[in-house]
Structure 1
Amino acid sequence: MTDAISSILSQIRAHETRAQGPLGNPAAVDARPSNAIETGQPARADFQKTLSNAIDGVSKTQNEAGALQHAFEIGDPRADLARVMVAMQQSQVAFKAAVEVRNRLVQAYQDVMNMPV
């Protein structure tokens, strides 16, 4: 479990470093995805596709945790308690992150709608 937490923390730190840009300037960040093909035109991020993929990932994590939990309940020897608990925690963290993103999107929408014209 400590390895999973360390892995998540290192991913967050790497993302934060990328967001700061080369000189610590958030404005210097390249908005293109890392797998964008150089065509001379800026890559366009598809928000709907990104959000859909994120929700699908959360759903997949929850389904895998549920299946592992069910396997443990029926006595499958491959499903030990530690794996079940880690899978359930990963599912919970993924869901909480998705809810937080949703809350921030709703807040941003409300802020935009309340702006004076």
Structure 2
Amino acid sequence: MSAPAIQAALQQMQALSAQASGQNAGSSSPSDQAPGSFAGELQASLGRINQMQQSANQQAMSFQAGDPDVALNDVMIDMQKASVAFEMGVQVRNRLVTAYKDVMGMQI
């Protein structure tokens, strides 16, 4: 791909980004990312993973403290769900790093 083609593609991406941010300027979201954008979805999924881990840890602490409303099987299931979610997040991160390295290694 030639340098002018890369510049044209970059300008198109910037124009689309500006257009999308102009459409979302009226909505107030908790983050600066557009809802539905890759960065916004990634941030939301990391928040959900964090919430799952905190919930599982809180439930484990309650079980250890002797709370009769918390069953061992619920604690174990929630801990496994949080573990699988975390591993998925790590794999997404690894894929992103690999993709970044591949893009940075491309020659013009």
TM-score by length of 2: 0.66
SS in 2 for 1:76: coil
The answer to whether 1:96 aligns with 2:87 is yes
In the alignment, residue 39 of structure 2 is paired with which amino acid?
Answer: Q
1:74 to 65, 77, 83: 65
* Structure possessing the higher relative contact order (Cα contacts under 8 Å, 6 or more residues apart): 2
2:43 to 34, 48, 52: 52
Kindly provide the CA deviation profile for residues 57-109 of structure 1, in whole angstroms up to 9, marking residues without a partner as x. 00000011001000000000111110000000000000000000000000000
Shift of 1:45: 3.9
In the alignment, residue 52 of structure 2 is paired with which amino acid?
Answer: T
| More helix as a share of residues | 2
Q: Give % identity.
A: 39
List gaps (5 residues or longer) in structure 1.
1-43
TM-score by length of 1: 0.61
The answer to whether 1:116 aligns with 2:90 is no
- Structure 1 residue ranges (4+ consecutive) displaced by more than 3 angstroms after TM superposition: none
Which protein is bigger by CA-based radius of gyration? 2
Say how many residue pairs are matched.
Answer: 74
